C-alpha cells in the first residue's frame, strides 16, 4: 500500500514526535511505502496556547529548520520519498490582506493562510498514484489509525474520513469538522483541499467564520454537489504538541 502525507502551515513541533505518526501507520496497516510532501512558512515560532487537554506542553528545543533538515528528518525515519518547500511569510501576509473572512471572536483572522497552504502543498505535489492520502498539521501526534481492511473498504468510493471529534469532546454531527487531520483516496483528496479556491462562496454562506465551521460547510457543499459520497468518522486520538 502506498500512503501520501501532506503537511502544511507552520513547522511548529514537527521534529519533536511527528515520526511517531509514521511508526503508528506502519503498525496499523503493515507493509507500506510512505511519502511526505510539505509546504511550510518561514516563521518558526511556536504557540503556547493550551486550549484543552488535547494540547500537551513539551520541553523541546527547536533545531535549525531548512528544506535539508526537514528532508533528512523524514528520510531518517524511513519515509520512501520526501519533497517540500518553505515559503516567505510575505506571501502569508498578502493572502491575509485579501481574506474574505471576518475575524474570529478571539480577534484572529488567519483562516485564509491555512487554506492557502493546504491548497498549495496539494496543488504542487499531488499525484493520483497513492492508495491513501492524509492532510495533517506538523504538531499533531495521532494514537490510532485505520487498519488496512478499513482503508481498502473505501478505496473505490468517494469517501472522506474526518476525526470523530471536531473539537475537544465535541463529536462530528454533520456540520463542524476537525481541521487537524483528514484522509481519503485519490478520488476526493485533491478536491477536499481546495477550500482556498472557494473562500468567497463560503464567506457569503456563513455569518460567522471559524475554521471548523468553514471546513464543515465546504465538505457539505462537496456532498451536495456529489464530489464526495460520504463523510466517515474515525477517532485518531490525536494530541497537539506545543
pLDDT digits (tens, 9 = 90+) for 221-236: 999 999 999 999 999 9
CATH fold of 2-241, please?
Spore Coat Polysaccharide Biosynthesis Protein SpsA; Chain A (3.90.550)
Which pLDDT does position 150 carry in this prediction? 95
What number of H helices and E strands is found in the chain? 9, 12
Name which of 239, 212, 234 is nearest 159 in CA terms.
234
Q: Per the structure block, which three cell numbers stand in for 56?
A: 500537551
How far is residue 172's CA from residue 178's CA, in Å, rounded to a whole number? 8
Phi, psi (deg, nearest 5) at residue 203: -65, -30
Q: Residue 54, Cβ neighbours under 10 Å: how many?
A: 16
Q: For the chain, which residues score pLDDT lower than 50?
A: none
* Tally of CA atoms within 13 A in the half-sphere of 158 that contains its CB: 13
| Residue 106: predicted pLDDT | 64
Cα of 207 vs its chain's centroid, Å: 25
Alpha helices in 58-188 (DSSP H): 67-76, 89-97, 111-125, 148-152
How far apart (Å, rounded) are the C-alpha atoms in residues 81 and 103? Answer: 38
Q: Which cell is 215 given?
A: 471546513
Cβ(194)–Cβ(228) under 8 Å? no
Q: Which of 217, 180, 163, 210 is nearest to 195 (CA)?
A: 217
Amino acid at each position: 500500500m502506498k500512503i501520501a502525507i501532506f503537511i502544511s502551515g507552520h513547522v511548529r513541533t514537527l521534529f519533536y514526535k511527528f515520526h511517531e505518526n509514521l511508526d503508528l501507520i506502519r503498525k496499523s496497516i503493515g507493509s507500506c511505502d510512505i511519502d511526505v510532501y510539505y509546504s511550510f512558512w518561514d516563521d518558526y515560532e511556536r504557540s503556547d496556547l493550551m486550549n484543552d487537554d488535547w494540547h500537551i506542553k513539551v520541553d523541546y528545543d527547536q533545531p535549525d529548520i531548512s528544506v535539508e533538515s526537514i528532508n533528512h528528518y523524514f528520510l531518517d525515519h524511513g519515509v520512501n520519498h520526501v519533497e517540500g518547500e518553505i515559503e516567505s511569510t510575505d506571501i502569508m501576509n498578502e493572502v491575509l490582506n485579501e481574506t474574505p473572512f471576518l475575524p474570529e471572536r478571539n480577534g484572529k483572522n488567519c483562516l485564509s493562510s491555512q487554506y492557502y497552504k493546504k491548497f498549495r502543498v496539494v496543488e504542487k505535489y499531488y499525484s493520483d498514484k497513492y492508495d491513501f492520502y492524509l492532510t495533517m498539521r506538523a504538531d499533531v501526534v495521532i494514537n490510532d489509525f485505520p487498519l488496512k481492511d478499513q482503508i481498502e473498504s473505501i478505496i473505490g468510493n468517494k469517501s472522506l474520513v474526518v476525526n470523530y471529534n471536531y473539537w475537544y469532546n465535541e463529536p462530528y454531527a454533520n456540520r463542524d469538522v476537525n481541521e487537524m487531520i483528514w484522509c481519503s483516496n485519490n478520488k476526493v483528496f485533491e478536491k477536499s483541499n481546495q477550500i482556498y479556491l472557494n473562500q468567497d462562496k463560503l464567506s457569503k454562506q456563513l455569518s460567522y467564520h471559524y475554521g471548523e465551521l468553514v471546513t464543515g460547510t465546504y465538505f457539505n457543499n462537496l456532498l451536495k454537489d456529489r464530489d464526495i459520497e460520504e463523510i466517515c468518522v474515525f477517532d485518531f486520538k490525536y494530541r497537539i504538541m506545543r
